[in-house]
Amino acid sequence: LSDGDSVTQRESSLTQTEREDVTLSCTYTDDALYLFWYRQYPDREPEFAVRRHTGGGAELKADFAQDRFSDTVQQSDKLYRLTISELRLLLCRVSQ
């Protein structure tokens, strides 16, 4: 995060049943240009999953996220959503 940037992940934890999609969300400040999701397995470093420009374009996904992760940006509410079919520990962050 850069000075003045802020991101808040709305859900501190979720439970997923088998074959059920889950939607996670985070809010961000006006200064944020790029939004990121990372996945993290126990005892491992976070791994990049998805990047999106706050203007809605410039999406980039890791290979493992291509078919299982779907993200949207709602600019009016500064809301970034990620729908996933594989739930692990996922982290949201912003960058300029």
Cα 64 from Cα 77, distance rounded (Å): 29
- Assigned domain for 2 exists: no
Mean pLDDT across the chain: 75
Query: Is 72 among the domain residues?
Result: yes
Instruction: Specify burial of residue 52 (Cβ count, 10 A radius: 0-12, 13-18, 19+).
Output: buried
pLDDT the model gives residue 2: 44
Residue 83 belongs to domain spanning: 7-11+19-95
How much is the pTM? 0.68
- Is 69 a domain residue? yes
Q: What is the pLDDT of residues 27-54, one digit of tens each?
A: 887 777 888 888 888 898 988 988 888 8
Amino acid at 60: L
Do residues 31 and 2 make contact, with C-beta atoms less than 8 angstroms apart? yes
pLDDT of residue 1: 40
In a domain, 1, yes or no: no
Counted domains in the chain:
1
Least confident of 18-22, 23-27, 43-47, 63-67: 18-22
Predicted confidence band of residue 13 (pLDDT cuts 50, 70, 90)? low
User: CATH number, domain at 30?
Assistant: 2.60.40.10
Q: Which pairing describes strands 34-40 and 89-95: parallel, antiparallel, or unpaired?
A: antiparallel
